Structure 1
Amino acid sequence: MSSSGRSRAWRSTMDKGTNGGRGNVLPRRSFAQELRAVRGRTSQVTIAQRIGYSASHYSNVENGHKPPTLDFAQACDIAFDTGNRFVELFRSESRAADREGPARPAQLPPTPQVIGRDDAFVALERLLQREPNATSANVIALDGLAGVGKTTLAVAWAHRIRHRYRDGVLFVDLHGHAAEGEPIGPHEVLEHLLTTLGVPAAEIPTTLDWRSALLRTVLDGTNTLLLVDDAVRFDQVRPLIPASPGCLVIVTSRSRLSGLATHYGARCMTVDMLDGPGSVALLRDVVGPERVDAERLATERIASLCGGLPLALRVAAERVAASRHLTLKGLADDLSEAGRRLDVLSPPAGEGAVRTVLSWSYRALGQSERRLFRLLSLHPGREFGVEAAAVIADAGRAEVQRAIDVLVGVHLLQESGVRRYRFHDLVRDYAAELLAAEEPAAEADEVERRLLYWYLHTAAAGNRTMSPKRPQVRMDGWTTSPPPQPHKFASAEQALEWFETELANLAAAVQQALVSEVHEVAFALPVVLGDYLYWRHPWGMWLGPLQACLAEARRLDNRTAQAWILTNLGNAFLDQRRLDDAETSFQEAASLHDGPAGQVWSEVGIGRVLQEQGRHEAASAHYRQARRLCADPGSWSWAVVTCYIADAERAVGQYKAAFGLLTEAITILRAHGDPISTGCAMDKMSEVYHDLGDHTASLDLLHQAIDTSASAADRWGRAQYLRKLGHRYFEAGDREQAHRAWTEALEQFESLGDPRAAQVRADLDAMTLPVPFPRRAG
């Protein structure tokens, strides 16, 4: 039970009572209401002192901002001499909160503007009607031509009916027809859905069938709406269908997914083109009523010539709206001259219509905007920033920003965030076609290489900024092309923000580098990002690119690339608890590394796997072998490996040895000016004190680690230390401090999009347990 779910429940819980013996059933007061009533005119400060809580904590509970605990309720009953009244209220509201469960998801995108779709909404409502004795989820599948507005219609209708689904609304975009990359598979989607629904990451199964079964279990008995957008195949959607008859699944696809009807009794509906009045209404909305009314016949001609395709109508109308000189009659005349092109709107494929309409906007651009539009299709990711666009154009940012503003103004680009942009998938296809037709292949290849190398060298610059005292990858040993000017970072926070923003693009750059055989980038990027990937744990996004890199490195018999990529894969598998795969990866990496710099981390990786298996003495042997590979006893690597040795010693009860090793390591790491590694060493030292029963020293070191991580912009380390701090306070019986630490840890993990947030929610849920967690082994 999440804290937000619990707080809603105890604020809304109503018990039955009587009113003056008249038999009318009235709601009983909530915990907060009862607290205010019993306190009367006595000040909150006085009551807080009486029950032994801070005034701010008492005020938060009485005002409904924080749920009470059992200890708090017992203290209130004693202070007010109310018997068990507050304890009973607490238990009643806790039971209600348990029934309510995690926070209600509400993932729909903003409500889109829908014009000319009244009949479609009526038809959808008819499809929603079903037999009262239904035994499975209701499934409605929308199909239709690209650009016809399937997603717009589905999202708008979901907003209209979402109040009927009390357990929340989920939204997933499968990117079935995205121009870049592969459609998102159900395995990844199920992980996202289960995490959203409160399943801890550690409890999410590894196989597709088990994940699908767990989703059905979680949604059993609920009233939940799931909107699955842009599916391309039936097998993408099948594992996502819940069994609960109270659930509704809406699926959109360019193709008719007949398998949904065959296997799940889905109601399928083809989204048609807009009729004449609807098309005119859309044009009126974009161009403006005054101009449409002044040129009514021309407007109707445009509506007819566009064939009712909303995308074509909008792009055409924007040309008129954006120009003071182009008239509706002029646009209608243009459409008439291009009649042969518009004929392609009639067949089911219909891509010609979009291409033709886009060509009108394209021809209206200046030469520099046209070339930028073509070249931007080379970007490997789903969105991009101005700086990447400037690298692609080989021009200044101000100049490129002006050109982008023009492209956005005619809807050839879409804004996805602050100075972030993306193509609609069909628009990107069109841009790529123009690139192939109008840009010399050699020049396009050079632009792509420039962008890929920019990502590589900017990632290296970011790594240096985040970890300036750590040994850095020697870029000249990996790359042969002269580096483009990388982004300059003023602080570790800036570098972190860039990595977070570009994380998906960096993965896409690796994939594109493999396709284009720019092997230096494909193999070097994972190495440059090694530290960041180790901290960030983005393996759902990066496991595929790493495995693809490994396959290519093996094909080319590049032993160095294989070794470093296997080391990253070992870390990924270790985080996913795939211990056999992790051990195999680290062992193979150790056999391939041609120098001690890489072998050190392969040996450390093997040791980490062994520790996870409880084989601490064997782990220590590998850690000691790693330390022997460190040439300088005072080096950064030597100190980090020493911390691992100390942790293995602690795990087998050799506390004195562990203490000495960590003391030495912390001294060296401080001398190297590496706050991130220093914080990790302090964390391990806190474990030693914790095992020895010195909770004060353990807490003090954890607080030092938290402060150290803050100075280094190590948000992942800070979040993890805060979570551990919560455990320490919880074990000591200080639930208020535990709640505070876990709440801050949750905020950190959620801001990072880290799946460990689900684990912290579980920690907060455990606050209702009467006994603390058992001590963790090792």
Structure 2
Amino acid sequence: MDRGTLGPLLREARQRSLLTLEGLAEASGVSVRAISDIERGKRLPRQSTMNELLDALELDEDGRRRVVQASARRTGRTPQQLPPDLAVFRGRERALEVVRAFGSPAAGQAVICVIGGMAGVGKTALAVHWAHQVADRFPDGQLYVNLRAFQDTGSPLDPGEALGGFLTALGVPSSDIPRHTEQRSALFRERTASRQLVVVLDNARDAEQVRPLLPASAGCLTIVTSRDQLPGLVATEGASLISLDVWTPAEALAGLAARIGEGRCAAEPEDAAELVELCGFLPLAVAIVGAQLTAAPGMPLRVGVRELRESQPRLDALAADDRRVDVRAVFSWSYRALTAETQQFFRYLSVHPGPALSAEAAACLRGTPMATARQHLRRLTSASLLSRDADGRYVLHDLVRAYGAELMDREGDDRAGAEIRLLDYLRHNAHAGNRFLWDYPSGLPDVPVPGVVSVAIEGREEALDWYRQEESTAAAALRSLDGPRLRRHRVDVALEWTRYHQAAGRWAEEIAAQGLALAAALALDDPVAIASICHHLAHAAVIGPGDAEEAERAIDLMLAYLPRLPLEQQVRFEHRVCTLRDHQGRYPEALRHARNSLAIARDLGRPAGIARGLSAVAWFLALLDAYQEAVDACEEALPILRELGDRGHEAGTWDTLGYARQRLGDLDTAIADYRTALGICEELQLGFHRGQVLDHLASALLERGDVEQARATWNQAAEQFTALRVARAAEVRARIDALPARPIPALPRTAP
């Protein structure tokens, strides 16, 4: 019986008979509620009930025949087209919590839910599992169709063909099914208008393929799966979107155990965990590995781990005779749906070595303008070949990356060019950002490679935001991108990023980056680059969590290359050695290197080198108790530094003056000198040097008897050192804990 036809006919007959619902109920013996439900298509009457209504209505022969014909269209069939629910279905609790809200017929509104996600992520499994769970709430049955959007069968299924199958399942005789899609869609909406159905539209291509297949009834639940996110369906049809990601590690382990047995996983838990990790937690990949292991029940899991780890390319280990469960094949169906330009853009993304990439980095990989890159990224995200993380960056699954790399090699794309552009993007924008992080430029040239994006950086916070966005990319690029053509680029990236690492207290990251760059610099036999990297390595080791031996090796290598440097560079590096010896507490050696730097600068007639050399010499004289000589050297250096505009070294020189005058007993002048130095450090945001000056100022305040001011100042110093993650923070806190004991001598400051 077709309720969509019977209900209106019954209402029309009652009204022609001039009967209210209550009148027909009294005449027929059928309840008012039952008659109302039949007229609204909410229930199907038994044949005896139908006969009682027809008798009470006293219809003429034609009217009775029409109602009887409508009643006769009931075939007795309830469509049950759902595929079987997977016995090994596991996980997805969070997604199921979301979809349970859609599990009952909604009042006055058809419910449409789109399950989107990358190939192999388990969209169909979730849709079918969900449909089986709620099937009892939809008594008129379940409709299912594979729309064949992403598979080897050729063209996607025509909506008209799918409608033909649905109408047949609903009991429409083939002779009554129209030829054209629009007419079939109208008939489908008519036949489902008062039904309660679950409709699963699996593997959809786009919204245009789906729209003709949507039932009109508020009592229907439509579940659509697609690798495309179907934004048109969400926007115009009010569909809800569930973006399905790969399994969590726990879900992946449960999925593997469901296939090979709980005992087998429990016997080798670490190998089971590594297996699913090598599968990228992708349900399809886990299923393939599970099937392979099931076929070899005696094989230890560690053997499977070794085979999967050593398989090159990785996707070969996840291949299958059935292309529907072959990871490479299912990825290919998404790839083939892209335009040629987006296909090429996708291939270049595989060069990126990090876990997530920014739109700017993506544009550089292909060497394309930002507007074009964003278009490609939107298409790839919509096709579920990319996803987005919480920071808005684009995430390429490891197995999708491997597939893209295979395609790149097959198509002969310019991998080396992409690697160079990525490295130069990291260098060029770090160079731009360093204007706001450090008072001294790197001295490296800045001519970006064609195709490199220049990010607009107009302040310190914008610079730090860019650095944080690309931090994981820079680390991965230095670690992964190698080869003779990339050595200079790797060196330059490490040298530019040192400013951020120092400003943010990223000492372990700095040591790792400079260590990788050192190998490239040695291969280039570039003495200046080698000396620079050794300085940064040693600096990070003595300031951060490095060890003394590591620092000493770097300093020894730098000293070995000093004779090969031009004299102007020798001025710089003699000065740098003295600062490192200062951190090590080796003050006589530090003074010797400071005097070497000053002597070479005087011979060359370089005011900047002379002023910096005087400042360094003054500091080490002060540390070696030659206080008046230190004051004299500072007073000679300060006018030169002010004329040069070298505010950073000027701050260090004022700090040295304060240190020397404090020990000469002139406390008030010393405190004024410290405050001058502190003001410059705060103006230039020189974090580490600010901490040192605060330490010295606190000791002078305590010596003058200002215990609480000293305590507050040392607290500021401790906070500064803690923010920079340097060991000196603990030593300053020990000073605070010792208050109000007798004055404790301040730790020495490093050379300016």
Provide, for residues 644-675 of structure 1, a one-character-per-residue CA deviation record: whole Å limited to 9, x for no partner.
11111111222222112223323222222233
> In the aligned structure 2, how far is the partner of 1:318 from the partner of 1:566?
59
| Rg larger in structure | 2
The residue type paired with residue 519 of structure 1 is R
SS at match of 2:569: helix
Q: Mind listing any 5+ residue stretches in structure 2 that lack a counterpart? A: 1-84, 106-110, 117-121, 131-149, 151-199, 214-221, 229-282, 294-307, 309-316, 320-324
Which residue of 1 is the match for residue 538 of structure 2? 570
1:662 counterpart = 2:640: no
Q: Pick one of 627, 651, 667 that aligns with 2:598.
A: 627
Which residue of 2 is the match for residue 717 of structure 1? 689
> In the aligned structure 2, how far is the partner of 1:516 from the partner of 1:291?
60
The residue type paired with residue 436 of structure 1 is D
1:522 counterpart = 2:467: no
| CA RMSD, 1 decimal | 4.8
Which residue of 1 is the match for residue 649 of structure 2? 677
The residue type paired with residue 665 of structure 1 is A
Q: Pick one of 620, 634, 646 that aligns with 2:618.
A: 646
1:303 counterpart = 2:274: no
> In the aligned structure 1, how far is the partner of 2:702 from the partner of 2:718?
16
Which residue of 2 is the match for residue 636 of structure 1? 608
CA contact (8 A) 2:692 2:717 kept: yes
CA contact (8 A) 1:570 1:586 kept: no
SS at match of 1:472: coil
Shift of 1:418: 3.9
CA contact (8 A) 1:553 1:561 kept: yes
Q: Pick one of 486, 502, 512 that aligns with 1:544.
A: 512
CA contact (8 A) 1:735 1:767 kept: no
The residue type paired with residue 554 of structure 1 is L
Which residue of 1 is the match for residue 363 of structure 2? 390
> In the aligned structure 2, how far is the partner of 1:474 from the partner of 1:691?
44
CA contact (8 A) 1:389 1:400 kept: yes
> In the aligned structure 2, how far is the partner of 1:756 from the partner of 1:317?
61
CA contact (8 A) 1:362 1:370 kept: yes
The residue type paired with residue 598 of structure 1 is Q
Provide, for residues 22-81 of structure 1, a one-character-per-residue CA deviation record: whole Å limited to 9, x for no partner.
xxxxxxxxxxxxxxxxxxxxxxxxxxxxxxxxxxxxxxxxxxxxxxxxxxxxxxxxxxxx
- Quickly say closer, same or farther: Cα 1:382–1:628, change in 2 above 3 A: farther
1:686 counterpart = 2:658: yes
SS at match of 2:458: coil
Shift of 1:626: 1.1
Provide, for residues 447-480 of structure 1, a one-character-per-residue CA deviation record: whole Å limited to 9, x for no partner.
221221222222333335555775723457xx9x
CA contact (8 A) 2:124 2:202 kept: no
**Map 1:39-78 → 2, pairs under 5 A:** none
> In the aligned structure 2, how far is the partner of 1:669 from the partner of 1:378?
47
The residue type paired with residue 703 of structure 1 is R
> In the aligned structure 2, how far is the partner of 1:611 from the partner of 1:757?
14
- Quickly say closer, same or farther: Cα 1:662–1:547, change in 2 above 3 A: same
Bigger CA drift: 537-546 or 320-329? 320-329
Provide, for residues 730-758 of structure 1, a one-character-per-residue CA deviation record: whole Å limited to 9, x for no partner.
55554543443344445555555x34585
CA contact (8 A) 2:436 2:463 kept: yes
- Quickly say closer, same or farther: Cα 1:713–1:275, change in 2 above 3 A: farther
Q: Mind listing any 5+ residue stretches in structure 1 that lack a counterpart? A: 1-272, 309-314
- Quickly say closer, same or farther: Cα 1:694–1:531, change in 2 above 3 A: farther
Shift of 1:560: 4.2
SS at match of 1:490: coil
Which residue of 1 is the match for residue 260 of structure 2? none
Shift of 1:584: 0.8
> In the aligned structure 2, how far is the partner of 1:286 from the partner of 1:319?
21
SS at match of 1:346: helix
The residue type paired with residue 629 of structure 2 is A
The residue type paired with residue 543 of structure 1 is I
**Map 1:490-509 → 2, pairs under 5 A:** 490-509=458-477
Q: Pick one of 737, 741, 745 that aligns with 1:766.
A: 737
**Map 1:95-494 → 2, pairs under 5 A:** 278=90, 284-285=96-97, 290=102, 302-303=124-125, 331=225, 343=288, 346-347=291-292, 362=335, 369-405=342-378, 407-408=380-381, 412-416=385-389, 418-437=391-410, 439-441=411-413, 443-464=414-435, 466=437, 472-474=443-445, 484=452, 486-494=454-462
The residue type paired with residue 453 of structure 1 is D
The residue type paired with residue 125 of structure 2 is A
SS at match of 2:292: coil
SS at match of 2:482: helix
- Quickly say closer, same or farther: Cα 1:613–1:558, change in 2 above 3 A: closer
Which residue of 1 is the match for residue 571 of structure 2? 600
Provide, for residues 215-243 of structure 1, a one-character-per-residue CA deviation record: whole Å limited to 9, x for no partner.
xxxxxxxxxxxxxxxxxxxxxxxxxxxxx
> In the aligned structure 1, how far is the partner of 2:284 from the partner of 2:482?
42
CA contact (8 A) 2:203 2:227 kept: no
> In the aligned structure 2, how far is the partner of 1:515 from the partner of 1:495?
29
The residue type paired with residue 506 of structure 1 is A
- Quickly say closer, same or farther: Cα 1:474–1:715, change in 2 above 3 A: same
Percent identity for Structure 1 against Structure 2? 24
Shift of 1:541: 1.4
> In the aligned structure 2, how far is the partner of 1:558 from the partner of 1:408?
43
Provide, for residues 342-373 of structure 1, a one-character-per-residue CA deviation record: whole Å limited to 9, x for no partner.
75663356856666665565556555554444
CA contact (8 A) 2:691 2:717 kept: yes
CA contact (8 A) 1:572 1:582 kept: no
Provide, for residues 139-160 of structure 1, a one-character-per-residue CA deviation record: whole Å limited to 9, x for no partner.
xxxxxxxxxxxxxxxxxxxxxx
CA contact (8 A) 2:608 2:644 kept: yes
Provide, for residues 72-109 of structure 1, a one-character-per-residue CA deviation record: whole Å limited to 9, x for no partner.
xxxxxxxxxxxxxxxxxxxxxxxxxxxxxxxxxxxxxx
SS at match of 1:381: coil
Shift of 1:569: 2.9
Provide, for residues 746-771 of structure 1, a one-character-per-residue CA deviation record: whole Å limited to 9, x for no partner.
5555555x345853783486267755
CA contact (8 A) 1:634 1:668 kept: no
Provide, for residues 175-218 of structure 1, a one-character-per-residue CA deviation record: whole Å limited to 9, x for no partner.
xxxxxxxxxxxxxxxxxxxxxxxxxxxxxxxxxxxxxxxxxxxx
The residue type paired with residue 565 of structure 1 is I
- Quickly say closer, same or farther: Cα 1:379–1:616, change in 2 above 3 A: same
Shift of 1:643: 1.3
Which residue of 2 is the match for residue 698 of structure 1? 670
> In the aligned structure 2, how far is the partner of 1:420 from the partner of 1:768?
49
The residue type paired with residue 433 of structure 2 is G
Question: Which structure is higher in RCO with an 8 Å CA cutoff and minimum separation 6?
Answer: 1
Q: Pick one of 546, 552, 562 that aligns with 1:580.
A: 552
> In the aligned structure 1, how far is the partner of 2:600 from the partner of 2:225?
74
Which residue of 1 is the match for residue 154 of structure 2? none
TM-score (norm 1): 0.52
The residue type paired with residue 509 of structure 1 is A
The residue type paired with residue 455 of structure 1 is L
> In the aligned structure 2, how far is the partner of 1:473 from the partner of 1:726?
38
Shift of 1:587: 1.1
Shift of 1:430: 4.1
SS at match of 1:378: coil
Provide, for residues 469-511 of structure 1, a one-character-per-residue CA deviation record: whole Å limited to 9, x for no partner.
75723457xx9x6684543532355445434544443344334
